[in-house]
Amino acid sequence: MNTRDQPAKLTRKGEATRLRIVAAAAQLMYENGVAGTTMEDVKTAARASSSQLYHYFADKQALVLAVIDYQNESVVGGQEAMFVRLDSIDGLRTWRDFLIQHQRDLGCRGGCPIGSLGSELAEINPDARTAVSTAFLRWEAGIRGGLQAMHERGELTADPDELALTILAALQGGLLLTQIHRDVRPLEVTLDAMISHVEAHTVVAGASVSLTRSA
């Protein structure tokens, strides 16, 4: 049996119960790591019975994969409305402000939910590594979409594929340092540098855009 399998059709109540279990597991794994989270912990946090827990998830592996999918939808899916506006420097700055404020709201704790799962599981759980990779590829594609639109309008001279990958990699590094230092400055500096890099490769009416950003 594929550990990602779930009942073919769930009632509305069943869907709500499954989501409650996954959301509880996601929060526990975000706070304590996968290794530090047991099925018993999840059962208690989700206020679920053992029969409910194992009805939806055959084992912890199945639950871990469901948590990765959940974080994919929450973290990457939650940014998709902004991704469509990343076709301008202003749109990139709005996204930057959102990411920084989110870290402030969290007290710079936890880092990236997807990145944390990937760091813990990549070398020990091939299926989880693949699922995390899928989430990152979706994130990269979201960033690339706006840059590609700028490129197609003749406003961006750099390769959108390379820029999107660079921005995502820089974002992950910035989030990690922000988590470690409990300070948003690493994320601010990283994102500002990446936006300046994009801006350096944009043109307006055939002229390079000034790199100077107003304070």
Q: Is the pTM for the entire model greater than 0.85?
A: yes
* CA–CA dist 173, 111 (Å, integer): 10
CATH number at 12-70: 1.10.10.60
- Residues 17-51: tens digit of each pLDDT: 999 999 999 999 999 999 999 999 999 999 999 99
pLDDT tens digits, 166-191: 999 999 999 999 999 999 999 999 99
Average pLDDT, the chain: 92
Confidence of residue 121 (pLDDT cuts 50, 70, 90): very high
Contacts of 145 (CB under 8 A, 6+ apart): 83, 84, 86, 87
> For position 11, what pLDDT does the model report?
86
The tens digit of pLDDT for each residue in 44-72 reads 999 999 999 999 999 999 999 999 999 99
69-82 average pLDDT score:
96
Strands (E), 67-211: 203-204, 207-208
- Please state, in angstroms and rounded to a whole number, the distance separating the CA atoms of residues 63 and 179: 26
Contact call for residues 3 and 128 (beta carbons, < 8 A)? no
* Secondary structure (DSSP) of 54-85: HHH-SSHHHHHHHHHHHHIIIIIGGGHHHHTT
Express as a percent the part of the chain with pLDDT over 90. Answer: 87
> CATH 1.10.10.60 occupies which residues in the chain?
12-70
Instruction: Enumerate the CATH 1.10.357.10 domain ranges in the chain, comma separated.
Output: 73-208
Rounded to whole angstroms, the Cα distance separating 175 from 173 reads: 5
Give CA–CA dist 61/31, Å, rounded. Answer: 18
Per-residue pLDDT, 14: 85
Q: Which fold has domain 73-208?
A: Tetracycline Repressor; domain 2 (1.10.357)
